[in-house]
Chain A
């Protein structure tokens, strides 16, 4: 019966129920049978890890379809107007006398918008139709505080501070699940589970894949790790017992899968930065087939109040790292990239006018990228609000025309199969009919 609820889905996001994945469907019964058997075995804790992996990895809609959502947060409020440049807007150049990207410098996309020259790595992805751009996206909350706005964007509830969990965790909650999903279903690169991923669904924060281990890094779990496992297995405390089980399972899975040996495809070089290393590790986790459905990483350094530069300079350096990393990740994933959706966001944009110190201050709308196998890219989505003075938000910033939750909602809906948008974004009234249909 779990198989039934699983596969009655008739969405348009890749799990084609009308033939294309017939072979896969034919294995459903067998998997269902094996799942029951394996779960029965859990108590005796002697399932071979390959079996555990293959079974646990297919307990949710996303996993069953091998879909993965990668979420990137640009912390510090990226200057979207210099990322995807509206180079046909006259007022853009009037408002940014020294920091504007000149028309002959932008990487033109459609005669109106162009990429920052340091983002050449994105151009082929755009041309191949994998990269979609949503401009003038953002939050309906007017906050210009990094702290509040990041919080709101991560919780997915602008204006509501007490929300305990993050939108991505709720997106996973909104999936149909039967049985026990992979311990690596939700993973964040970093020491802490970010707000975006906090919530009921267990999420794992891994700063470094090699360090996620108890008392021993070798290919086998150490005797001490096994000792701890034995203690927690027998713990009468249900929470400790349960999480202990997940923990040691994750540790063992990681050792068995040894993601570190999945080195980048020849010729692909990730920038040697924290962000570059993060996405490299995300790729390793995905290649190791650990059942990752949602992965999170972030990159800081966007708060360019001073001296942000134009075609070169501070922001340019950051954009190069950003786009080179994401392009490396995409190419590194090879054929598997077909199953991936990657989405980027930043808490708000920056002022349309440059300030007195060669930078920009806190603004409002921003640009989001969506990269994916089933993404209808090569297009800039969203309604462009214009940059003339009366079109600006509060007379100073790009106006929001697309709620960021609409974008994230579509990504979750079509990638993870999260159907209940009221659960993912309570109160936002995200309506699938109003999706931009970039995917």
Chain B
């Protein structure tokens, strides 16, 4: 089924304009930063933390790192009151983040809507095969037609000797940004007519579409926004290919200027939806970590997304499910009851897909019987081979091993099989979306891409799980299993231990974990209550754990951006940086999520990357992200500070970035070296770029940040070149000073 398009699109348009203006407020006013003189370095083994240390500790552990002014704010509020407020995110306005996310309208769509509005290669392939007509809505028509052309070209690339991409999963996945960025301007394309199947016939007669002339491109850009968009929408796929080839990267900003976020998104989608969808889901994570005022919720969001890890490259469908996974399953339950969270993840299309449960089918179910008959009649038919044949244990095993009981949590292989039987029939409705999927259209439901329980696939009979008898009861069997697991002492301990690893120590004191687990059981898995117990435990405030955790790469990046009050216009380079730092977002290939232990994150490659990242960020050479050290130091107009910072400046930077004095050696080293003029430039070269994104793809990204920023970007560059402010900005000694501190051992800890 095609979702009605023009209607909801117009609806979503309403009210979008208002938030864009709010963006300019986000560039924080210069901090009236009192020259805080550093306290004497903390003594080695004292009994308790000072009040200031406690404040810093709380911010380091319960947020993605303090921003300038946060410590003063917490001191003013009082630690308890601040913690209490953070426990209740609904009481905190997050308008700033909301405004940034408003630039990604697709984040609000359901899985089915996403699949229908921004079709995946799989959907397109099916349409092509079946000769499904393209949608009538002009915008949607353009997205479909251009995507068809784009994927056709992409499929040609490997044969044409394009550089190989790492991993087959990556090869078929638009979310691999580095790969997508490597896609060259097209030199051949199919012509997508009004019927998808026509394209196939034309494949052999590919066009070698010449690039649109510079004049034509400039004329198009000069059109008023609405006419410009209409022109883009009205282009034939061939013309679009020519246009993309003619468009220079520096023209993207101008092309997108004045368009609404929705229009920018649509324009970006014209070369393939999956890429846009994946990019938005990844960008969102970075923006939330850096900018949410609900920091504890953001930390818990990150924690649970890692605990219930899914992998963006699992399949072409997975990217479509990520926004919904975070928005519908994780965020609303991140500080609620564990069982609710568990049920939400169990039913999430992202998890059902990632751990294969959507294909699991009871061997004695009606569906299996039908499949068997089909297999006898037509054993070699595509359909017979495509029908799932039996149980898939993947989810059942990970559910117990990784989500609840933990390894050695007292379950057997028999339990795994029995649990898997209980979950047969828990699947995804029309997993390839509502479009073009002929064989799915027969089903009489209206929620493509969402959870559905299919009785036909469910294994009949009584099951026994961990000693409990589970009577035949359809969907309810799975819910019973989840209840048994959520209320198990093993789960309470396993989850509490992991929380303590994240918040307290790589090797948390058993007495602390026991105390948290007791609260977990007593409160029916109330996550707030468990966190409160932890916060009020002496182990949390022990001087031994103070600044003892090594930051994970995302904690390093987010805390650096927060400490420096950086302005992120385009998160994509940060998303790519996460890959280089060894912690790609939604990129943990194995089911167990990323580790909270220091030794996983401190490798040579990681350190080299961290140091270079620090210098690149501080020097304003990271595309799409801007730092302004003089402004941060409350010295906006004084350019002499940038060129000639003093030892006093260094002390203030230490205090702002580290929250306390650096070690003597670090300070001495910074003071001796900040005057190296070439540092950032070379670091930028070393922080190997994953490649320039294709102009149009970057459009949704680059321009996602709205007009206010666009204008500032343009004002900031004289000749109107490049992707923004980075290109012609010279690094200063102050930049180097900040970069050295961000790359210092002290900054790697929290």
Chain A residues near B (Cβ < 8 Å): 75-77, 145-147, 150-151, 161-162, 164, 183, 190-193, 195, 202-208, 211-217, 222-228, 230-232, 234-237, 239-241, 243-244, 246-247, 250-251, 273-275, 298-303, 313-314, 317-318, 356
Contacts and interface: CB of A to CB of B under 8 A. Distances in A.
B497 to A, nearest CB: 16
A424 B311 CA distance: 27
B686 A213 contact: yes
Residue among A246, A274, A301 with max Cβ neighbours from chain B (10 Å): A301
A247 B688 CA distance: 17
12 contacts: A147-B589, A162-B407, A202-B603, A216-B678, A228-B740, A234-B665, A234-B666, A235-B663, A244-B745, A300-B168, A301-B164, A301-B165
B605 A314 contact: no
Contacts of B748: 237, 240
B605 A204 contact: yes
A206 B605 contact: yes
Contacts of B592: 161-162, 164
B288 interface: no
A155 B571 CA distance: 33
Given A161-B591, A191-B580, A227-B669, A183 B604 contact: yes
A334 B591 CA distance: 43
B158 A247 contact: no
Given A212-B608, A273-B163, A161 B603 contact: no
Given A190-B166, A215-B683, A236-B663, 13 more contacts: A161-B591, A216-B686, A223-B679, A224-B673, A227-B672, A239-B598, A240-B550, A246-B604, A250-B604, A298-B167, A301-B168, A303-B172, A313-B159
A130 to B, nearest CB: 25
Contacts, number: 191
Interface in B300-334: 311, 313-314
Interface string B395-410: 0011001100001000
B351 interface: no
Contact of B743 (A202, A226, A228): A228
Interface in B13-63: none
B166 A214 contact: no
Contact of A275 (B164, B311, B602, B685): B164
A224 B164 contact: no
Contacts of A303: 168, 171-172
A317 B161 contact: yes
A151 B314 CA distance: 12
Contact of A240 (B164, B580, B602, B680): B602
Interface string B654-688: 00000000010110011011001011101101101
A192 B605 CA distance: 8
Interface string B72-109: 00000000000000000000000000000000000000
B170 interface: yes
Interface of B: 158-159, 161, 163-172, 311, 313-314, 356, 382, 397-398, 401-402, 407, 550, 579-580, 582, 589-592, 598-599, 602-605, 607-608, 611-612, 615, 663, 665-666, 669-670, 672-673, 676, 678-680, 682-683, 685-686, 688, 736, 740, 743-745, 748-749
B314 A147 contact: yes
Contacts of A225: 611
Given A214-B611, A300-B164, A302-B168, A230 B665 contact: yes
A358 B311 CA distance: 30
A231 B676 CA distance: 16
A145 B580 CA distance: 26
B604 A243 contact: yes
A239 B678 contact: no
A224 B169 contact: no
Residue among A150, A192, A246, A314 with max Cβ neighbours from chain B (10 Å): A192
B685 A217 contact: yes
* Top 10 A-B pairs, shortest CB-CB distance: A76-B168, A235-B745, A234-B665, A227-B673, A247-B604, A300-B164, A303-B168, A224-B679, A243-B602, A205-B605
Contacts of B743: 228
Contact of B744 (A231, A246, A302): A231
Nearest to A218: B682
Contacts of A76: 167-168, 171
Given A162-B592, A237-B749, A300-B171, A274 B602 contact: no
A183 to B, nearest CB: 7
B166 A298 contact: yes
A168 to B, nearest CB: 15
A239 B679 CA distance: 26
A227 B166 CA distance: 35
A435 to B, nearest CB: 29
A243 B171 contact: no
Nearest to B663: A234
Contacts of B382: 356
Contact of B579 (A145, A191, A246): A191
Contacts of B736: 224
A224 B603 contact: no
B688 A211 contact: yes
Nearest to A355: B382
A76 to B, nearest CB: 3
Contact of B589 (A190, A195, A213, A313): A195
A191 B581 CA distance: 8
Contacts of A298: 166-167
A335 B605 CA distance: 31
Nearest to A224: B679
A274 B611 contact: no
Contacts of A202: 603-604
A89 to B, nearest CB: 21
Given A151-B590, A314-B158, A211 B686 contact: yes
Nearest to A76: B168
Contacts of A145: 356
A147 B683 contact: no
A318 B160 CA distance: 10
B670 A227 contact: yes
Residue among B169, B590, B599 with max Cβ neighbours from chain A (10 Å): B590
A216 B687 CA distance: 11
Contacts of B168: 75-77, 146, 300-303
Contacts of A314: 158-159
A150 B745 CA distance: 35
B527 to A, nearest CB: 24
B550 A237 contact: yes
Contacts of A203: 603
Residue among A77, A205, A206 with max Cβ neighbours from chain B (10 Å): A205
A244 B606 CA distance: 10
Contacts of B579: 191-192
B745 A223 contact: no
B166 A215 contact: no
Nearest to B598: A239
A248 to B, nearest CB: 9
A305 to B, nearest CB: 10
Contacts of B608: 212-214, 247, 251
Nearest to B165: A300
A234 to B, nearest CB: 4
B553 to A, nearest CB: 11
Nearest to A356: B382
Contacts of A230: 665, 669
Contacts of B603: 193, 202-205, 243
A142 B718 CA distance: 61
Given A191-B579, A204-B605, A243-B607, A214 B612 contact: yes
